[in-house]
Structure 1
Amino acid sequence: MKLNRRRVLMTTAAGALVGAASRAFSQPAAPIRLTVQYAWPKSYDSVMQNIAAQFAAVRPDVHVEFMAPATDYVDLLQRILRAAITGGMPDVAIHGMNNVDRLAERKLITPLRPLIATEKNWSEMGYSPSILSMGDVCGDPFCMPFTIAIKSIYYNLDLVKRAGGDPDKLPNTWGEIIELQRKIQGLGGGVLGLYADYYFDDNFTFQSLIQTQGGTIATPDGRVAFGGKEGLQALQWLQGFGQAGMIDMTVNQAYASFTSGMLGILVASSSRITQLTKDSGGLFPMKVVAFPRSINGTVPGGGGGVMIHAKTGEKLQAAWDFAKFATGPVGSTEVVEKSGYIPGNSVAINDPRYLKSFYDRHPPQRAMVDQMPFLTKWYNWPGDHSLKILTVTRDYIQQVATLKQTPEAVLPKMVSDLEALLKA
């Protein structure tokens, strides 16, 4: 990859941050081979290649070699668990941040606190405690957030206006959103009011509905914590979507409906901003906002985080330097400019050399960044039945959203089934 002048300046500045670390290293006879694996769509391969090329300017003694990408975070997790038995573990991997507990409890990833302690200028490198808490396990960070996404609400402002809504004063509560959904649905002609992708991303929508109310998914000792009012309210909102006309379709069908101008409100990941804006081709004005949030509500952050599998020596140091570079100003700029993800680095956000001017030009992305002070961990259930718990939860949610069961009937059964799986 040829680096243009801006990229050279960016890489040089970031190199100062990564290296300030600026520990001298003697160049070995052969480059250090650093294997990296990730789970991104094919369209993001160029992002990783660009990051690796620019990292080479900072650590020319390290050769980054990408292993075959996984299809998704679950596939990557399964590959890593197999590799732990059969061999072939990468030195670095970009896992779903909801998998950090599984990997840490199996001692397959390296804790970051000892590495952070070696950084004399850590407080200046742009990693806030709230960001690092997203990869926290029992009080210690194990993950550097790389691509952060939150559940968001996309509005087709043309349909909002046609339905009698005010594009400059969008709803502030889920009750108001459902009422607007009904009005858009009533326009007829095949227009749909709302779709929420509750069946996607490991129940991320359900978790977001609970946490933005101020609730939690689990107690500190790992028991189900949403059996009360927050869980019931989340299910009632999902029921409300169904009662107001939400059709149970795939997320790809929903994205196509939205970008063609036939869906008024889409509840989806903020990481879809770039894709949906591009696919809609300016057909209608769009606005993206965060979930309604109570005064004590938090916002779970999904996405991927850089986790280190290397354990000791020069491989560990190279992996740590790559993790800082990929999640630092240069890596964050590469990711954000080509996607709708939120970066995990405040230097990248606020420095004019990196993303400040980008956010000035892209208000929807800036609105997502404003949620960073409220970000919390994407909770993952512990134990051998964690994946089964996700499936059971999702299937119960579908029963409510498709109006086959009521929230009042589903919630106690869901809690009971999950508690049984946690004890099994």
Structure 2
Amino acid sequence: MQRTLTAMALVLAATATTATAEDKIVVEFGYPYSHLFDVTYEAILPKFYEAHPNIEIKMRATYESYEDGTNTILREAVAGTLPDVTMQGLNRQAILVEKGIAKSLEPFIAAETDFAKEGYHKAMLDLGTFNDQVYGLPFSISLPVGYYNMEVMAKAGYTETNLPKTWEDVVQACVKLREAGVDNPMFWGWNITGNWFLQALMWSQDKPTVMGADFQLDTPEGLKTLETMQSIFTGCEMQNLEWKAALASFSAGDLGMMYWSTSAVGAVERAMGDFTLVTAEYPGIEASGPLGLPAGGNSALLTSQSDDPEQLAAAWAWLKFITSGEGAADVARTTGYMPPNQAANEIILADFYAENPAKATAVRQLPLLREWQAYPGDNGLAATQVIYDGLEGIVTGEFADMSKLQEELTEEVQDLLD
């Protein structure tokens, strides 16, 4: 795990108020992906402290991934060391609700005089609603997009007007780029958290990956998903890069194309070399484009084990601040995520996306938003790893027969879900 020490310490010091340490209520907070979100919280904290000088936010060690975040919270629940507020992947909320770790936010919402659920995009708010109770408020929402280095793409005759529309187009572009002398034309984010890109190909065909407790890979859409991956990996001769190395390689200007979450736009822009970055809609299996795409991102959950009303009120104040208004607007300003709150959109959308077109692509794809599904039951994380290993086997060439892999993955994952 990484610790967010230097930058956060500077923010905390710079925003100190006249209130003494004894006067402040300390809210412990855990979140993932330091490389994406440190800059976001550096922007949010001064505004929060100005509004709430009696509250101190204590940042815990950041989670390496959403799976790491869920495992950490499950361990801390047993040890009695939970943070007051945690950020969890949209597809990992259910298990914390089922185990009674996450608290319902309905009592806090009901006590607010100026809080309206309608302020949050309904499709996004639904992702944190269980049994008609809101447990998670969406903080950052992403969709998969295409990243293009236009100087590299120009070597094969591509401009912003003829970028790939289908995965077959992508493979053709890889061939042209290799002929133009590009050693590694493309990276496709198979290893992104939560089997997100597998679900993206399934939803592209309007097929959920899970229905109830049934794994849907044993369908024609499932086979098409695996075959599409294989065609991308082999047709592009894609290197099996670890995802951080892939982002670094694209930022350095080595890759012509990268297919990843829009969440990384801000990080790429801060790290990129001297080239023109363009993002475009996620390609489809068919020329008509995807029929749906899974919503990525995370939600803020209240996991405090305190019974002190003041402590809980402080935790709610932080949770509400970061998911609404200026707090949510800073998510879009500092990352490539979309703000889940309509009020935040009103603050920034009028000019922001016109001035930042690379961050606007996911917004255009919002009508495609579908659920990022979790695998139900206590073995959900194990199922995620089984699928991960299977997909890596396609990348490395270990698995060549997609029908056989479909059968093996279906049997192993279904056994875990059953």
Q: 140, 149, 162: which is aligned to 1:156? A: 149
How far residue 163 of structure 1 moved from its aligned partner, in angstroms, is: 1.5
Seen in structure 2, the aligned counterparts of structure 1 residues 99 and 152 have a Cα distance that, compared at 3 Å, is same
Paired residues for 1:16-415 under 5 Å: 30-41=23-34, 44-45=37-38, 47-123=40-116, 126-188=119-181, 190-219=182-211, 221-244=212-235, 245-283=237-275, 285-292=276-283, 297-310=291-304, 313-351=309-347, 354=348, 356-403=350-397, 404-415=399-410
Seen in structure 2, the aligned counterparts of structure 1 residues 167 and 52 have a Cα distance that, compared at 3 Å, is closer
Q: Take 2:233 and 2:161, find their aligned partners in 1: how far apart are those partners?
A: 26
| Residue identity matched to 1:401 | V
Equivalent residues of 1:161, 1:167 under 8 A apart? no
Q: Is the partner of 2:336 in helix, strand or coil?
A: coil
Q: Is the partner of 1:64 in helix, strand or coil?
A: strand
Q: Take 1:93 and 1:241, find their aligned partners in 2: how far apart are those partners?
A: 36
| Residue identity matched to 1:116 | I
Q: Take 1:396 and 1:366, find their aligned partners in 2: how far apart are those partners?
A: 33
Q: Take 1:137 and 1:117, find their aligned partners in 2: how far apart are those partners?
A: 17
Q: Take 2:163 and 2:62, find their aligned partners in 1: how far apart are those partners?
A: 40
Equivalent residues of 1:109, 1:142 under 8 A apart? yes
How far residue 139 of structure 1 moved from its aligned partner, in angstroms, is: 4.4
Q: Take 1:417 and 1:81, find their aligned partners in 2: how far apart are those partners?
A: 24
Q: Is the partner of 2:56 in helix, strand or coil?
A: strand
Q: Which residue of 2 aligns with 1:12?
A: none
Seen in structure 2, the aligned counterparts of structure 1 residues 105 and 405 have a Cα distance that, compared at 3 Å, is same
Q: Is the partner of 2:256 in helix, strand or coil?
A: strand
Equivalent residues of 1:144, 1:307 under 8 A apart? yes
Q: Is the partner of 1:170 in helix, strand or coil?
A: coil
Q: Provide, for residues 266-303 of structure 1, a one-character-per-residue CA deviation record: whole Å limited to 9, x for no partner.
A: 111211112223333332x2211232356882221222
Q: Take 1:306 and 1:406, find their aligned partners in 2: how far apart are those partners?
A: 41
Seen in structure 2, the aligned counterparts of structure 1 residues 297 and 226 have a Cα distance that, compared at 3 Å, is farther
Q: Provide, for residues 314-335 of structure 1, a one-character-per-residue CA deviation record: whole Å limited to 9, x for no partner.
A: 3333322221210112112333
Equivalent residues of 1:183, 1:193 under 8 A apart? no
The yes-or-no answer on 1:416 pairing with 2:411 is yes
Q: Take 2:27 and 2:174, find their aligned partners in 1: how far apart are those partners?
A: 50
**Equivalent pairs: percent with the same residue?**
26
**TM-score normalized by the length of structure 2:** 0.85
| Residue identity matched to 1:328 | S
The count of corresponding residues between Structure 1 and Structure 2 is 394
**TM-score normalized by the length of structure 1:** 0.84
Equivalent residues of 2:141, 2:295 under 8 A apart? yes
Q: Is the partner of 1:93 in helix, strand or coil?
A: strand
Alignment gaps of 5+ in structure 2: 1-9, 13-21
Q: Larger deviation: 154-163 or 65-74?
A: 65-74
Q: Provide, for residues 173-199 of structure 1, a one-character-per-residue CA deviation record: whole Å limited to 9, x for no partner.
A: 2222222222222223x4322211202
| Residue identity matched to 1:111 | S
Equivalent residues of 2:167, 2:232 under 8 A apart? no
Q: Is the partner of 1:337 in helix, strand or coil?
A: helix
| Residue identity matched to 1:224 | F
Equivalent residues of 1:298, 1:375 under 8 A apart? yes
Seen in structure 2, the aligned counterparts of structure 1 residues 181 and 42 have a Cα distance that, compared at 3 Å, is closer
Equivalent residues of 2:253, 2:273 under 8 A apart? no
Equivalent residues of 2:195, 2:388 under 8 A apart? yes
How far residue 31 of structure 1 moved from its aligned partner, in angstroms, is: 4.0
Q: Take 1:358 and 1:367, find their aligned partners in 2: how far apart are those partners?
A: 13
Q: Take 1:112 and 1:298, find their aligned partners in 2: how far apart are those partners?
A: 29
Seen in structure 2, the aligned counterparts of structure 1 residues 166 and 60 have a Cα distance that, compared at 3 Å, is closer
Equivalent residues of 1:38, 1:93 under 8 A apart? yes
Q: Provide, for residues 20-58 of structure 1, a one-character-per-residue CA deviation record: whole Å limited to 9, x for no partner.
A: xxxxxxxxx944332222223167445325423322333
| Residue identity matched to 1:212 | S
Equivalent residues of 1:215, 1:297 under 8 A apart? no
Alignment gaps of 5+ in structure 1: 4-28
Seen in structure 2, the aligned counterparts of structure 1 residues 420 and 33 have a Cα distance that, compared at 3 Å, is same
How far residue 166 of structure 1 moved from its aligned partner, in angstroms, is: 4.1
Seen in structure 2, the aligned counterparts of structure 1 residues 421 and 184 have a Cα distance that, compared at 3 Å, is same
Seen in structure 2, the aligned counterparts of structure 1 residues 343 and 264 have a Cα distance that, compared at 3 Å, is same
Q: Larger deviation: 168-177 or 123-132?
A: 123-132
Query: RMSD of aligned C-alpha atoms?
Result: 2.7
Equivalent residues of 1:130, 1:373 under 8 A apart? no
Q: Take 1:121 and 1:290, find their aligned partners in 2: how far apart are those partners?
A: 36
